[in-house]
């Protein structure tokens, strides 16, 4: 075999290795995009660059895998559904109280599922791994809840908060919005 043939084989092998690496990288990116959905876009937009955002999302996956998450019992699921129904009914007469109760219910539900509730940022990171599609709703609802505590939320904002909380409650209960009425 001539040195030219060896050089061509080496170049072809390097090209194949590079192409395989690029394909693996793109596949991993697609997996992150599918898993995190809108949270992927948010992380990229807020991060220094796409690679740093993807690294952060993979770290979230690793930290999430260390959690001891648990499914709710049917009784707990029914209890949360009943509490949610009560909160929605209460909204008509006392929207401010209903939003505060919804925030408290979501916090308790998150805790009962095994997520940490001490730090809001950490809570968001853990929830983003399995509940990324409703996480934006949770952020919006929580922000409105904070404004509500300061007396600065309008009734329409409070209504939006309840709708946002409803989507997260349904997601955490493993149901659809219809299941939480």
How open is the CA angle 130-68-72, to the nearest 5 degrees?
70
According to the model, what pLDDT value does residue 181 have? 45
Whether residue 48 is predicted with pLDDT greater than 70 in this model: the reply is yes
Lowest mean pLDDT among 92-96, 108-112, 130-134, 175-179: 175-179
**Spatial distance between the Cα atoms of 75 and 168, rounded to a whole number of angstroms:** 19
According to the model, what pLDDT value does residue 60 have? 92
**Spatial distance between the Cα atoms of 166 and 29, rounded to a whole number of angstroms:** 30
Q: Which positions ≥6 away from 101 have C-beta within 8 Å?
A: 87, 90
C-alpha R_g of the chain: 23
Whether residue 179 is predicted with pLDDT greater than 50 in this model: the reply is no
With a pLDDT cut of 90, the percent of the chain lying above it is 73
Please write the tens of the pLDDT for every residue from 7-18.
999 999 999 999
Q: Average pLDDT, stretch 121-145? A: 92
């Amino acid at each position: 075999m001539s040195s030219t043939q060896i050089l061509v084989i080496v170049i072809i092998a390097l090209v194949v290795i590079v192409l395989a690496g690029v394909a693996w990288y793109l596949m991993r990116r697609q997996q992150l995009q599918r898993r995190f959905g809108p949270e992927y876009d948010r992380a990229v937009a807020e991060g220094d660059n796409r690679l740093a955002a993807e690294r952060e999302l993979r770290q979230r996956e690793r930290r999430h895998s260390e959690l001891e998450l648990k499914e709710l019992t049917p009784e707990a699921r029914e209890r949360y559904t009943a509490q949610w129904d009560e909160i929605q009914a209460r909204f008509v007469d006392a929207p401010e109280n209903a939003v505060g109760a919804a925030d408290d219910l979501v916090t308790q539900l998150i805790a009962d599922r095994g997520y940490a509730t001490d730090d809001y940022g950490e809570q968001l990171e853990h929830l983003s791994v399995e509940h990324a599609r409703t996480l934006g709703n949770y952020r919006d609802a929580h922000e409105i809840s904070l404004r509500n505590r300061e007396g600065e939320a309008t009734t329409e904002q409070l209504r939006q908060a309840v709708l946002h909380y409803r989507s997260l409650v349904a997601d955490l209960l493993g149901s659809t919005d219809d299941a939480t009425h």
